[in-house]
Amino acid sequence: MRLLFTPARGCTRLARPLFRPVQSFRGLSLTVPRKEERKWSTPLAKELYKAISATGPVPLATYMRMCLTGDLGGYYTGDIGAKEGDHFGTKGDFITSPEISQCFGEMIGIWLVAEWMSQGRLTSPSHRIQLIEIGPGRGTLMADILRTVHRFPAFASSIDTIYMVEASRELAKRQKNLLCGEAAPLIKTEIGQSSVCKQNSETIVWTDSITAIPNDDKTIPFVVAHEFFDALPIHVFQSVSTPSPPPPTEAPGEAPAAEQQRAKPKVAKQPEPTEWREMLVAPVQPGTTPVNTGAFRSSEPGLPSEFQLVLSSAPTKQSLYMPEASSRYKQLKKVPGSVIEICPDAAFYAGEIARRIGDGREPKGAALILDYGTESTIPINSLRGIREHKFVDPFTLSGLVDLSADVDFMAVTEAALEASEGVEVHGPVCQADFLELMGIKERVAMLVKHIKSDTSASASEKDEKIQNITEAWKRLVDRGPNGMGKLYKALAIIPENDGRRAPVGFGGDLAQAQQRGPTDKN
Ligand code: SAH
């Protein structure tokens, strides 16, 4: 999820259900009268129209993927340099926790070190830490993590390589500038590009694919993904009833149907059979009203929806297998009109992370996934369009609008546990609980004390700094109905230990973690 930054404060991306299921879609005509060349809001919208005209309506996941990371002007992969700044912060479209407070990344850094301590401080040369961040944005989170973990020399000296999994070339360059300096060259490698961290000379490698990162018995993966899973494309399915064909008509000479009926023992009425159908993206014909009318507002006045979600008239290959893959969807299938969202990419990443931690001779490493989404229910109507700190129509300005959807944390858990017997999953816990257990309040108090003792700053400068730090902290742990502390959640994947040990921040104890080895200086 992204945070929206209203001038005063900013709100979260997750508040508003955007589309309603539609009843049906039959044979939408995709041709547009050729009288006048139709104008599209972006070149990508035109390309999407052409592609859909050729193939028919496409799954929402296809639309999202092209809009977010497609080659032709995707939101992340397009020319973000054309915008002032980038997607993040006041001048961009949304703001994220690491951009709000340095304490966020610091707590994550401490979590990684604590988890490494709990696993017995794997410092031998045959144990090398891979610090992996997926979807690193501006690189701020990694900068805060690195500053923090370097206060624990034994951990820091065990870091072999830092990996940044990033689809955007431009964001990768910005991350490199922040972590390695503008002058540092980006060198082409087998799996992407690399440079050297300016503070600690670690090698940082950028790749667009987690599968390209080396994985063997010596590597210990410590993975962080903040606001990455919500950017992954979703499929949407709706259950529809499929009435059985009417009984055959009477053959000549047979007893009338009514008499036959009387003679038969009474059988309980069977529920109508149902099946999953996929919601597809189709163009809106000029002059017609999109089926999701009223659900979205356009960011730019006069820009109507160019696409709409319609229900497929027949099963698709996705609708036949995706909703059948988990028993969680079974009951809903029986209720016509039920809608579910499924994110196969989230299951893929969760599985890949779990295998890296849990497979091999000795399960080791850990992953922390932070995002917004549902704890146990299946997400529904959660697609959001975000632009310039407002919720907007996701079906116009394709490629210029950020798209995101709620993370289904239970599906992520299921995928991780299914992928590897060597892992266990903890959480999700709400962000406020996680950050408080990690000691964010104490860290803020320490920063405030430091500011107060600064003799070079004026009283008003100090007051302003203290106010900013305090407000930012309170925002991250706000437990109000739309507060970040409540809506954002943290989930941990750690090596399987029969449930004997919970990670710090998830009910585990930092003191316990520290008892497992000699104390690092901090
Ligand atoms: N974690 C950052 C940024 C979140 S925005 C923060 O909290 O500030 C999402 C990030 O994921 C961006 O860096 C975007 O470029 C990246 N991203 C989105 N889809 C991706 C994909 N399929 N593969 C790799 N990176 C992706």
Whether 75 shows a pLDDT value over 50: the answer reads: yes
Indicate whether 424 belongs to any domain. yes
Which pair of structure tokens corresponds to residue 294? Answer: 């009223």
Q: What is the pTM of this model?
A: 0.89
Q: What is the pLDDT of residue 19?
A: 45
Residue 171 has pLDDT above 60, yes or no: yes
What is the number of other CB atoms lying within 10 angstroms of the CB of residue 327? 8
Whether 131 has a pLDDT exceeding 60, the answer reads yes
Q: Is 228 in the pocket of ligand 1 (CB under 6 A)?
A: yes
Q: Is the CB of 495 under 6 A from ligand 1?
A: no
Determine, yes or no, domain membership for 22: no
Residue 324 falls inside a structural domain: no
Q: What SS3 state is found at 88? A: strand
Confidence band of 38 (pLDDT split at 50, 70, 90) = confident
Residues forming beta bridges with residue 183, ordered by sequence position: none
Is the pLDDT assigned to residue 515 strictly greater than 60?
Answer: no
The CA–CA distances, whole Å, from 228 to 89, 269, 346, 407 equal 17, 47, 9, 10
pLDDT attached to residue 355 = 97
Q: In the predicted model, is pLDDT for residue 33 greater than 60?
A: no
Q: What percent of the chain stands above pLDDT 70?
A: 83
Distance 29 CA to ligand 1 centre (A): 36
Domain membership flag for residue 125: yes
Mean per-residue pLDDT, 211-228: 95
Q: Mean pLDDT of all residues in the chain?
A: 87
Cα distance between residue 366 and residue 335, in whole Å: 39
Confidence of residue 252 (pLDDT cuts 50, 70, 90): low
Q: What is the pLDDT of residues 320-361, one digit of tens each?
A: 999 999 999 999 999 999 999 999 999 999 999 999 999 988
- Separation between Cα atoms, residue 415 and residue 182, nearest integer Å: 39
The model's confidence at residue 195, banded by pLDDT at 50, 70 and 90, is: very high
CA 171 / ligand 1 centre spacing (Å)? 9
Q: Is the pLDDT of residue 451 over 70?
A: yes
pLDDT at 278: 97
pLDDT digits (tens, 9 = 90+) for 259-274: 555 666 666 777 789 9
**If 0-12 CB within 10 Å is exposed, 13-18 middle and 19+ buried, where does residue 362 land?**
exposed
387 lines ligand 1 (CB under 6 A): no
CATH assignment at residue 147: 3.40.50.12710
Predicted local confidence at residue 360, as pLDDT: 83
> What length does the chain have?
522
For atom 23 of ligand 1, the residue with the nearest CA is: 167
What angle, rounded to 10 degrees, do the helices at 344-358 and 409-419 form? 40
Residue nearest to atom 3 of ligand 1 (CA): 137
**Three-state DSSP string of 205-230:** EEECCHHHCCCCCCEEEEEEEECCHH
Residue 18 alpha carbon to ligand 1 centre in Å: 22
Residue 521: pLDDT over 80: no
Rounded Cα distance, 278 and 320, in Å: 9
The kind and range of the H/E element at 109 are helix 102-118
Q: Is residue 169 part of a domain?
A: yes
Q: How many CA atoms lie within 13 A of 272 on its CB side?
A: 13
Atom of ligand 1 nearest to the CA of 225: 1
Parent domain of 476: 97-232+345-497
Q: Given the structure tokens 């009223």, which residue do they identify?
A: 294
Residue 461 has pLDDT above 90, yes or no: yes
Task: Grade residue 498 by pLDDT with cuts at 50, 70 and 90.
Answer: confident
How many C-beta neighbours within 10 Å does residue 51 have? Answer: 14
Q: Is residue 259 part of a domain?
A: no
Least confident of 19-33, 52-66, 188-202, 275-289: 19-33
Q: Helix, strand, coil proportions of the chain in percent (round to 5)?
A: 35, 20, 45
In whole angstroms, how far apart are CA 41 and each of 54, 91, 512?
20, 21, 57
The ligand 1 atom at the shortest distance from the C-alpha of residue 87 is 5
Euclidean distance between CA atoms 406 and 389, whole angstroms: 18
Which pair of tokens denotes residue 70?
């497609």
Residue 266 lies in a domain: no
Q: Do residues 408 and 234 touch, judged by C-beta distance below 8 A?
A: no
Q: What is the mean pLDDT of residues 495-517?
A: 80
Q: Which atom of ligand 1 is nearest to the CA of 97?
A: 7
Q: Report the domain count for the chain.
A: 1
Comparing 256 with 43, the larger pLDDT belongs to 43
Ligand 1 centroid vs 499 CA: distance in angstroms? 32
pLDDT band at 51 (very low <50, low <70, confident <90, very high): very high
Region 147-155 average pLDDT: 95
Token pair 């951009």 is found at 99
Q: Give the pLDDT of residue 11.
A: 37
Residue 149 has pLDDT above 70, yes or no: yes
pLDDT above 90: percentage of residues in the chain: 70
Residue 73 inside a domain? The answer is: no
Q: Is the CB of 230 under 6 A from ligand 1?
A: no
Comparing 13-27, 149-163, 498-512, the range with the smallest average pLDDT is 13-27
